[in-house]
Amino acid sequence: MTAHGSARRVVAIVGIDGAGKTTQARLLATWLAACGHPADYWQNAGGRRWFGRFAQVFGRSDAQALLGIGGMLFVESVLRWLAIARALIRSRLRRHIAVMDRYSWCQYASIRAHPSGSPAQSRRRERRARWFYGLFPEPDLTVFLAVTPGRAYARVETRGTDHEDLAYLAAADAAYRSLAEARRFVVIDANREPAVVQRDLRAAVAAQFEIVASPDTASTPIDQ
């Protein structure tokens, strides 16, 4: 694939909180650029962490306690949609590969992991989200970073910037795996050291996009 052929290419990195999405996506974008395929890193967060901090100002434990499950999911859906739309448009205009830290699938998994109201209400919420996000193309490659909820919980606690409930992480993991799209995910074991995960991620992307790394890229940092 030439640099010109990078246009409209999209790689999505998904997984539960603590899987290492941000670290791996950033490293991947750097490596792609070193291989002569300009890439943009995009963090398509839904604002839950920011709202969690905002909630604490008002004495609430997290975004869900501040907005309610329905309100949190609505705000998250809108903010993530706007982030993905910006990322796709800007990367396409720049003719760069878009490396997505989270994508539409993350919103569907979030809805399933945060059931609210009756099962019928939850299904309607997901149908609306799928209609809303249906404008976006399916990525050329979606990588699911698979990590055990216990390992993910320990990582989140270690970084100390936010908190996730272990039961929620387990529900989110199950939600991702239950998606119809999951059968098209490339699954990488993210319980291992970041450098090992990055090597597997680069291999998956190279195979998908027919990238041949030159000897000059051997020195590209593989861990941080």
Q: H-helix or E-strand containing 124?
A: helix 119-133
pLDDT at residue 67, rounded to an integer: 53
The first and second tokens of residue 26, run together, are 């950033």
Identify the helix (H) or strand (E) that includes residue 187. Answer: strand 186-189
Alpha-carbon dihedral angle through residues 86, 13, 48, 26, given to the nearest 10 degrees: -80
Q: What pLDDT sits at residue 141?
A: 97
**Rounded to whole angstroms, how far apart are CA atoms 186 and 205?**
10
Q: Which of 51, 138, 63, 70 is nearest to 103 (CA)?
A: 138
- Given this model, what pLDDT does residue 177 score? 97
* pLDDT of res. 163: 73
pLDDT for residue 4: 41
Q: Report whether 45 contacts 79 (CB < 8 A).
A: yes
What's the confidence (pLDDT) of residue 74?
Answer: 82
pLDDT at site 102: 96
List of the chain residues with pLDDT < 70: 1-8, 46-68, 70, 117, 161-162, 213-224
| All domains of the chain in start order, with CATH | 4-219 (3.40.50.300)
209-213 contact pairs (CB < 8 A, 24+): 209/1, 209/9, 209/37, 209/97, 209/140, 209/141, 210/1, 211/1, 211/32, 211/35, 211/37, 213/31, 213/35
In the block, tokens 């796709």 appear at 88
Asked if 185 and 144 count as a contact pair (C-beta separation under 8 A), the reply is: yes
Instruction: Report the candidate in 93, 191, 104, 189 with the shortest Cα–Cα distance to residue 142.
Output: 104
Cβ neighbours for 24, distance < 8 A, ≥ 6 positions apart: 13, 145, 190, 194, 197, 198, 201
pLDDT for the residue numbered 222: 60
Closest of 175, 172, 205, 170 to residue 188, by C-alpha: 205
